[in-house]
Amino acid sequence: MKRSKNTTFIDKIWDSFASVNLAVVIFAVIALTSIIGTIIEQNVEPAKNMKLLSRLFGESSAPVLFDVFERLGFMDMYHSWWFMAILLLFATNIVVCSIDRIPKIMKLVKDPLKPLSGDHFKGFGIQKEILLKGKPEKTKETVINTIKKRTGFNLTEVREEDGFQLYSQRGNHTRLGVYITHFSILLILSGSIAGIIFGFRGFLPLQEGKASSMIETGRDKVIPLGFMIRCDDFNVDFYGNSDMPKDYMSWLTVIKDGKEVVKKGIRVNDPLTYEGITFYQSSFGIVPDSGGEGVFKFRLTSKEGKTEEVNLKFGESFTIPGTELTGKIEDFSPAITFDEMAGKAYTYAEQMNNPAVLIHFSERGNSKYSGWILKRYPNTWKLPDGHTVEFIDLWGIQYTGLQVRKDPGVWVVYLGCMTMAAGLFIAFFMSHRRIWVKLVEVKGNTLIVIGATANKNRQAFERRIDRIAHSLSKAPEGGKG
């Protein structure tokens, strides 16, 4: 908006914030800093980012750059004062831009359409002339019905000295589409700021059978949940005989005031949410030095069909039901494989990729045989005597890695995204269309002069006007364009 020479300091500040150029600059700054904040891991141990910077810029430069980035707040960028200030500056710019421009738009939206003088019909970008047989009184209804059928316009009729003038408009409120988009950006920004201030993101490694009421958010910072979350069990499935996980699942229980209030099995893309805090399945692993805590679960079936399930600690024994054959757990491997050349078994990974247990069998005190029973390979469950020992699980040594997130502004962001979609659709695919039609009597016939405007998609509207002209020329009254 142009101002007089006697502008005040407030006017200059207002004009600066009303500048579209400022919006472009701020948006570019947000994009650039967000890229940096994506490359640099947020709220993690310093060693991780030191390793990243060493890989990108060399080991000699990494400590200096790490110190610079930390002082600038890039290690926790989205909670830094300057990033919040940029978001607020962007929001202020959007509000001022909208307020500065909306009065002119509202005038176009609210102003009623009026009939035009003959001279104004010469300046339209969309203009057509058709001559119909018959006087305006006779052809008027045909013109009105044809235009309504082709465009949906409800025409207003005005009597003139030499005939009639018809006019109407549609979509005048579509000019507000850009401001709906502006409002959606404000919703998204407000939701993001609410999430930054009142929300958190963290990680919780939870061992089977263990519970916690705290989560880690990085750099030794912990946040209380306000309730307990317990991992009852964890299981991972693999693709065929490969070591690639197909699916992994945690069974969680929420405990509030000493009572179990929620139980749910979660997997990737199927989280648990309680009191606005969401737990996502993220990773898994074995707790170091936890072998003595594990519980081996077996299903024992004799060759006669008698079945029993047992839970044992390392070194304990079991007896096949209905027999005197006993088995004792002597060894365990989380990921076993066999060297056929050496004739030995060895562990090739620290994860539960291919768990196996070594069991020594004896009967009435006499040693009979021993062998490895693999959880993933049922053919190893069958004993030489025809009995079956199914290795179900080793419970209590794995942990589930849970990503924990609380974002009270997420629904505001979702609402903003839906509002933005509506605003962009209105702004790009809908238009304010206006039409004026003069019906002038010329030597007992009717000269139809059409003038129309559209603030967007002008070519599409012009094609509709062409179809109107074509339909009128084929009317019973006859005519020509």
Q: Indicate whether 68 and 197 sit together in one domain.
A: no
Distance (Å, rounded) from C-alpha 139 to C-alpha 447?
A: 10
468, 166 Cβ separation under 8 angstroms: no
Q: Indicate whether 232 and 257 sit together in one domain.
A: yes
Q: Mind giving me the DSSP string for 92-115?
A: HHHHHHHHHHHHHHHHHHHSPP--
Q: Does the model's pTM come out above 0.75? A: no
Instruction: Give the burial string for 335-366 (b: 16+ CB within 10 Å, else e).
Output: bbeeeeeeeeeeeeeeebbbbbbbbbbbeeee
Residue 361 lies in a domain: yes
Distances (CA, A) of 376 to 241, 291, 353, 356, 476: 8, 20, 9, 8, 83
Residue 385 lies in a domain: yes
Question: 108 falls in which pLDDT band (50, 70, 90)?
Answer: confident
Choosing from 108, 138, 158, the residue where a domain stops is: 108
Q: Indicate whether 390 and 319 sit together in one domain.
A: yes
Q: Which of 70-74, 145-149, 210-214 is the least confident region?
A: 70-74
Distance (Å, rounded) from C-alpha 26 to C-alpha 92?
A: 11
Q: Indicate whether 390 and 404 sit together in one domain.
A: no
The pLDDT of residue 2: 52
Give me 249's structure tokens: 């699942």
Kindly state the helix (H) or strand (E) to which residue 330 belongs, with its residue range: strand 325-333
List the one residue out of 50, 40, 111 whose CA is nearest residue 74.
40
Q: Convert the pLDDT of each residue in 132-155 to its tens digit.
A: 998 999 999 999 999 999 889 999
The pLDDT of residue 219: 60
Average pLDDT of the residues in 369-384: 94
Strand partners for 173: none
Residue 348 lies in a domain: yes
Q: Indicate whether 389 and 299 sit together in one domain.
A: yes
Average pLDDT of the residues in 35-51: 82
Q: Which of 3-7, 94-98, 150-154, 306-310 is the least confident region?
A: 3-7
Strand partners for 187: none
The pLDDT of residue 207: 94
Q: Indicate whether 276 and 199 sit together in one domain.
A: yes
Q: Indicate whether 384 and 417 sit together in one domain.
A: no
List the one residue out of 46, 51, 32 whose CA is nearest residue 76.
46
End-to-end CA distance of the chain: 43
The pLDDT of residue 339: 82
* Comparison of pLDDT for 33 and 319, the residue scoring more: 319
DSSP H helical ranges for 121-242: 136-151, 177-198
Question: Angle at CA 82, nearest 5°, toward 80 and 84?
Answer: 75
List the one residue out of 194, 172, 48 whose CA is nearest residue 105.
172
Give me 422's structure tokens: 């509506």
Q: Indicate whether 309 and 389 sit together in one domain.
A: yes
Q: Mind giving me the DSSP string for 235-275?
A: EEEESTTSSSEEEEEEEEEEEETTEEEEEEEEETTB-EEET
Residue 426 lies in a domain: no
Distance (Å, rounded) from C-alpha 215 to C-alpha 199?
A: 13
What's the half-sphere exposure (Cβ side, CA atoms, 13 Å) at 223?
Answer: 16
The pLDDT of residue 481: 47
Instruction: Give the burial string for 48-76 (b: 16+ CB within 10 Å, else e).
Output: ebeebbbeeeeeeebeebbeebeeebbbb
Distance (Å, rounded) from C-alpha 275 to C-alpha 225?
A: 9
Range of the domain at 282: 185-289+399-421
Question: 11 falls in which pLDDT band (50, 70, 90)?
Answer: confident
Q: Is the pLDDT of residue 83 over 80?
A: yes
The pLDDT of residue 29: 92
Average pLDDT of the residues in 348-363: 91
Q: Is the pLDDT of residue 292 over 70?
A: no
Q: Which of 336-345, 367-376, 426-435 is the least confident region?
A: 336-345
Residue 299 lies in a domain: yes
Residue 263 phi/psi, 5-degree rounding, is -130, 135
The pLDDT of residue 218: 66
Choosing from 397, 412, 446, the residue where a domain stops is: 397
Q: Is the pLDDT of residue 16 over 90?
A: no
Percentage of the chain lying above the pLDDT 90 cut: 57
Q: Indicate whether 145 and 164 sit together in one domain.
A: yes
Determine the residue type at 436: W
Structural domain count of the chain: 4
The pLDDT of residue 156: 94
Q: Indicate whether 205 and 276 sit together in one domain.
A: yes
Residue 431 phi/psi, 5-degree rounding, is -140, 160
* Comparison of pLDDT for 299 and 351, the residue scoring more: 299
The pLDDT of residue 271: 95
Helix (H, G, I), strand (E, B) or coil at 37: helix
Question: 213 falls in which pLDDT band (50, 70, 90)?
Answer: very high
Distance (Å, rounded) from C-alpha 119 to C-alpha 421?
A: 41
Q: Convert the pLDDT of each residue in 219-246 to its tens digit.
A: 667 889 999 999 999 998 888 777 788 8
Q: Indicate whether 134 and 66 sit together in one domain.
A: no
Residue 3 lies in a domain: no
Q: Is the pLDDT of residue 476 over 70?
A: no
**378 Cβ neighbours under 8 A, 6+ residues apart:** 390
List the one residue out of 333, 230, 234 whose CA is nearest residue 284.
234
Average pLDDT of the residues in 308-324: 94
The pLDDT of residue 382: 95
The pLDDT of residue 381: 96
Residue 370 lies in a domain: yes
Residue 121: CATH number of its domain: 3.30.160.110
Q: Indicate whether 225 and 244 sit together in one domain.
A: yes
List the one residue out of 246, 250, 332, 262 whose CA is nearest residue 297.
332
Residue 178 lies in a domain: no
